[in-house]
Structure formats: C-alpha cells, structure tokens
Amino acid sequence: MINNNFNFNFRILQNKTLSRKDLFKIVYFKNSIWKYGIKSQLKWIKLNMSKDDVHILFEKNNKIIAYANLFYSISNNDNFIGIGNVSVHKEFRKLGIGSLIINLIISYLNFNKLNAILFCKKGLVNFYLKNGFKLLNNFDLLIDFDLKQKVYILANFTPDTKIQLLKNF
C-alpha cells in the first residue's frame, strides 16, 4: 500500500507530442530496467511505437520511478490495445506503485470501453492475475509475429472470438 506521505506526479503523454527531454528520460529509465543500451531503447521506441501510442510516467523529484505504455493498432479490432513495459524502479518496488499503474490503466480502459492484452514472463503472472487480468491461451489468439521468447498472455476480458494481433509490443 502506498504511504500517504509518498508524493509523486504522473503524466500521460502521446508519443507524437513527446519532447526530446521526456524521450531521453524514458529511455534512460527503461535502460535501468532492461539493459539493452540507450541506442537500442531509442530504436525500439522509434520502430514499435506509433504516434498515437501513450507513455505513462510516474515521477518523483522530476525523475521517472515507474513507467508503462499503451499501444494502439495492435489488432484488427479497434477496441483492443496493448499494455507494455510496465516497470517500477527497484528502489520503489513493494510500495503498491505497480498495482497503482495497472489500476490507472484499467480505469482508462473502462472509461474508453477498451480491452487490453499484455505479455509477461512467468514470474509476473500472479501480479497481473491479482490486479484483475485473466490468462489467455493460444486458442484465443492469432499472432502475426514472432514472440522470440516464452511469454504469458493476459487480458482484462475473456475473448468471445479469436483476436488477431498484428504487432509485438
């Protein structure tokens, strides 16, 4: 649970309006979590995020302490978005910030009548299940890209038809 004395700001930024300063704050934060290098992080954003995709930043003292992004155009159905890169700086874990991010995203999804899919590793499945997501199986999806690694696919809904995913996120 988040301590009432814990102050932070959060911002939601569209990729197309992202300032150079915010872009570099994001790639440096992402690189502190996933050590692929700054150039690789920049390239990944350029290749994988469209102009309408969204960055969600939680900041303390003007530094990112948690991050996630929302991907539009991942499916042949406009009611689906992808949730990606949900991450919390190691110094701020176990404070409820990850759940806060997910609850914020779920509120956004519900308000906009959207459904979301996310990929995660086995160690994070219980976190997402605890926060209202359901584990999907391969029969629920048509995937038009190589996942490159073993991932678990979760969603905030139960599909009534097969979902075709067009890009990785």
Whole-number percent of the chain with pLDDT over 90: 59
How many C-beta neighbours within 10 Å does residue 49 have?
22
pLDDT attached to residue 29: 97
Predicted confidence (pLDDT) at residue 96 exceeds the cutoff of 90 = yes
Predicted confidence (pLDDT) at residue 152 exceeds the cutoff of 90 = no
pLDDT attached to residue 62: 93
Where is pLDDT greater, at 168 or 81? Answer: 81
In this structure, the chain runs to a length of 169
Cα gap 39→147, rounded to integer Å: 22
Where is pLDDT greater, at 114 or 151? Answer: 114
80: which 2 tokens?
A: 């689906």
pLDDT attached to residue 148: 65
> Which among 40, 77, 69 is positioned nearest to 53, based on CA atoms?
69
pLDDT attached to residue 45: 94
Please list, residue by residue across 24-38, b when 16 or more beta carbons sit within 10 angstroms of its beta carbon and e when fewer do. ebbbebbbeeeeeee
Query: How do residues 35-90 score in pLDDT, each as one tens digit?
Result: 999 999 999 999 989 999 999 999 999 999 999 999 987 776 677 889 999 999 99
- The whole-number average pLDDT for the span 135-139 is 73
How many C-beta neighbours within 10 Å does residue 152 have?
18
- For the chain, domains (ranges, CATH) are 9-165 (3.40.630.30)
Q: Are the beta carbons of 98 and 41 closer than 8 angstroms?
A: no
Q: Are the beta carbons of 90 and 34 closer than 8 angstroms?
A: no
